Amino acid sequence: MRGNEIEQQNTEQQNETESFLLLGLEKGEKINEGNNGVIFQIDLKDFHPLTIKHVFPEITDEDLLAIKALKIYQHGAIEREADYQKRAYEANGGNTDPQSAKIPRPISCRELHIDLESLKSKLKKSGIANPEMVSVMLMDYVPGDDLATYFYKKLLAVIPSKKGMVDKENLDLLPFDQLEEDFCEALNLTVPTPEQKARGVDIIWIDKNNQEIIERKLEKYDIAFDPKIFDRLTRTLNKLHKAGLYHNDIHERNIKFILDEQGKLIDVYLIDFGLANERQEEGDSDFDTIHRYERLTLSKAEREKQKLEELKHSFKIARETFLKNPSNASDFRLYREDLKEVVESNNPKKVAEKIISILSFSGNNYDLVGGLLQPLFKENESLLIDSLRNVVSLSKLGRPQFWLDLIKFFRAKN
């Protein structure tokens, strides 16, 4: 009898939780989306205060909440994400350390059957593929902009654009997709094809040339950061790693922050635990993105120095990775001898052609080619600089910034 009562109570509570989440979806306003999820902001005024107290005693009146709904339903996916997010939230000390980044507190998650036609149509319109069954997570609403949105707004506000193309006054009102489209157009970035988008490839941030163009613009317009952003993220990541948790998806859209009116950091948040795991993804570190932008908190000279150190490190990694496959050893020797021979010809155009051909043979392994050139520079600086300039003008599709950085690197070494 007693057991039955408890069971009944649990079912009742479960139903109330589901009704709460359904109402949240019905009333909530879509505020953002990523490749996998749509984010709705919840207004607690839409709920009866007693219901809130009853269903989620941990929620207070001041709390701002959001629901993440997955675009594609996959059984167990949201539970997994919420579980990692909860463990991360706890490993991070529940957001009590002011020197750490924050993690939105996950409150509840469910897989919901949707019967209401009007809700199905709202969900469909907002990007949920099959709104009959939807995975949702209720969590803290995170204020501020993600790093990508912040860059887009900051740069679009200052770079000259084709007349009338960008509505500079109303950047805050643009949905993310529009902002990204305007940004790519203004900076001539490579945009993902619809097929790539459908496969979930967030290509604008994966494309190295795009990254280089954006970073150069950020430097040019002196869009610098409060170093506390990265210090706090690093502190949080160290705590997660110590607890055996890896985020595995740290990029520009999964870091959010708020600044005060003077541009000083108030809070930084790490979000989106959709790929979190007990293992670190191979070849990818949780710190890669952070290290890239950390440069923007340094002086120009410090920035240059750090970039050169990174370049040297990438050459080393590229060579090691390439030579891991024993069958590459003879190619490597051949590339090296070919380059040496052509450098002796003293003809920058020929050297450039050789560099481009090695680049293509090595599957566009820029860092490998950079490393092959490095020892040749000592005695042939001006020839090689002329050659790299030729490379820039000969190879239209490459990464021009890479070669310009290389020139800087080799000059600094001599």
Ligand X SMILES: Nc1ncnc2c1ncn2[C@@H]1O[C@H](COP(=O)(O)OP(=O)(O)O)[C@@H](O)[C@H]1O
The nearer residue to ligand X, 32 or 387, going by C-beta atoms, is 32
**149 part of the interface to Mg ion, by CB under 5 A:** no
Write down the least CB distance from residue 107 to ligand X, Å. 11
Cβ of 410: how many Cβ atoms within 10 Å?
22
287 binds, among Mg ion, ligand X, none (CB under 5 to 8 A by kind): none
Distance CA 339, CA 333 (A): 10
**34 part of the interface to Mg ion, by CB under 5 A:** yes
Distance CA 276, CA 270 (A): 12
Beta strands at 29-33 and 255-259: parallel, antiparallel or unpaired: unpaired
CA distances from 98 to 231, 236, 306 (A): 11, 11, 28
Residues 267-286 that bind Mg ion (CB under 5 A): 272
The nearer residue to ligand X, 36 or 387, going by C-beta atoms, is 36
Write down the least CB distance from residue 155 to ligand X, Å. 17
372 binds, among Mg ion, ligand X, none (CB under 5 to 8 A by kind): none
Cβ of 136: how many Cβ atoms within 10 Å?
26
CA distances from 251 to 59, 187, 272 (A): 30, 20, 10
The nearer residue to ligand X, 116 or 133, going by C-beta atoms, is 133
Contacts with 389 (C-beta within 8 Å, 6 or more apart), sequence order: 348, 403, 407
Interface contacts to ligand X, rule CB under 6 A: 32-37, 39, 66, 68, 104, 139-142, 146, 253-254, 256, 271-272, 274
The structure tokens listed for 157 are 């506000």
Strand partners, 256: 146, 269
**104 part of the interface to Mg ion, by CB under 5 A:** no
Write down the least CB distance from residue 275 to ligand X, Å. 8
Cβ of 54: how many Cβ atoms within 10 Å?
12
Instruction: Classify 31 as helix, strand or coil.
Output: strand
The nearer residue to ligand X, 187 or 271, going by C-beta atoms, is 271
Write down the least CB distance from residue 104 to Mg ion, Å. 12
39 binds, among Mg ion, ligand X, none (CB under 5 to 8 A by kind): ligand X
First to last CA, the chain: 85
Write down the least CB distance from residue 254 to Mg ion, Å. 5
In the block, which residue shows the tokens 């200052």? Answer: 158
CA distances from 181 to 101, 184, 185, 189, 352 (A): 29, 5, 6, 10, 34
**252 part of the interface to Mg ion, by CB under 5 A:** no
The nearer residue to ligand X, 106 or 371, going by C-beta atoms, is 106
Contacts with 61 (C-beta within 8 Å, 6 or more apart), sequence order: 44, 49
Write down the least CB distance from residue 27 to ligand X, Å. 16
Write down the least CB distance from residue 142 to ligand X, Å. 4
Write down the least CB distance from residue 64 to ligand X, Å. 8
100 binds, among ligand X, Mg ion, none (CB under 5 to 8 A by kind): none
The nearer residue to Mg ion, 245 or 391, going by C-beta atoms, is 245
Distance CA 250, CA 285 (A): 9
The nearer residue to Mg ion, 229 or 250, going by C-beta atoms, is 250
**131 part of the interface to Mg ion, by CB under 5 A:** no
Strand partners, 112: 134
The nearer residue to ligand X, 42 or 352, going by C-beta atoms, is 42
Among 100, 254, 362, 374, binds Mg ion (CB under 5 A): 254
Binding residues (CB under 5 A) for Mg ion: these are 34, 253-254, 272
